A and B are shown apart, each in its own frame.
Chain A
Amino acid sequence: MEQQPEFTHAQSLELIQSMIDKARNKYSENGFAYLLWGWAVFVCSVTQFILLRMHFAHHYVVWFTMWIILIFQLIYARKRKKQNKVRTYTDEIVSYVWITFAILMFLFGFMFGQIMGKEYYKYFNTALLALYGMPTFLSGVILKTRALVIGGIGCWVLSLVGPFVPYDYQLLMISLAVVIAWIIPGYILQSKYKKDNA
């Protein structure tokens, strides 16, 4: 596009419209974080369920792997931020939604631990399901991704059912929640990203 000082007013508006369209929907979401966390939580919840059935005393230790996943995610996010040629307001809002979620997870874990003592994890799962729904639903609305909206609602439905299910089976509900909320939408986002950037 070379410099052309004279152009009509109608052409100006058309140009503005076409440039805004080019920048719009330029999300950098490639589904990686959804798949990483989805599979990590899936494997941990199923493993804890198996360990519980085997009456293994320290069944909860599997969740310590989350710290490794978190470090990996932070390194990956930093690398990706450098690679991105553009940062949209949408990208920024979605990342703050997930930061809010991470902070709430930490606060809830801390509060439940302090109030309920050593066995708090028995009551934590249904709260977790309700929490999982929040960033998933919001990201779905912001990114206009129906699978995430459905996933978020799915988490909330599971959180309502949770209190009526024995503790160890609640772990399998967590596995189911991450399949519908993160793993399936993660693959959808991944394929969309590959298609858009082909």
Chain B
Amino acid sequence: MEFKDLDPILHSQLRLAVMSLLISVKEAEFTFIKEKTNATAGNLSVQINKLKEAGYIEVAKQFKDNYPQTTCKITPVGVKAFEDYVNNLQSYLGVKK
């Protein structure tokens, strides 16, 4: 069986954690993702930016009660990439589908 390379954008602990959270919800605020992943704000910002540049997530910035609020949402491209990543992982691990 031929193994496909795992998507390098997703094969990183924090980015994969962010994508796994976002695949389960419609949208989530930056603070929610930070809380669930236990990441630092700086590191999380960098990784979210990489996911955004890859077109895997959409990031909306707005003001709520005079405070900046960042909301993230997975895109159809992101869903497809995530599904492919999981399928490839299953192939590597010999998980029968």
Contact = CB atoms under 8 A, between A and B. Distances in A.
Contacts of B32: 85-86
Provide the main secondary structure of the chain B interface. helix
18 contacts: A1-B38, A1-B43, A3-B47, A7-B13, A12-B16, A13-B89, A15-B17, A15-B20, A19-B17, A19-B37, A23-B25, A82-B64, A85-B28, A85-B35, A86-B27, A87-B28, A88-B24, A89-B25
Interface string A66-95: 000000000000000010011111011000
Interface in A18-41: 19-20, 22-24, 26
A44 B40 CA distance: 52
Nearest to A5: B12
A30 to B, nearest CB: 17
Contacts of A3: 12-14, 43, 47
A198 B91 CA distance: 41
Contact of A13 (B13, B21, B47, B93): B93
Contact size range, A: 20 to 34
Given A13-B93, A22-B36, A92 B14 contact: no
Contact of B14 (A2, A13, A91): A2
A79 to B, nearest CB: 10
Interface in A53-77: none
A23 B92 CA distance: 26
Nearest to A12: B89
Give 6 closest A-B pairs by Cβ, nearest first.
A19-B20, A23-B24, A85-B32, A85-B29, A86-B28, A16-B20
A10 to B, nearest CB: 7
B39 interface: yes
B43 A86 contact: no
A190 B82 CA distance: 35
A92 B47 contact: no
A17 to B, nearest CB: 8
Given A1-B13, A2-B43, A19 B36 contact: yes
Contacts of A20: 20-21, 23-24
Nearest to A25: B24
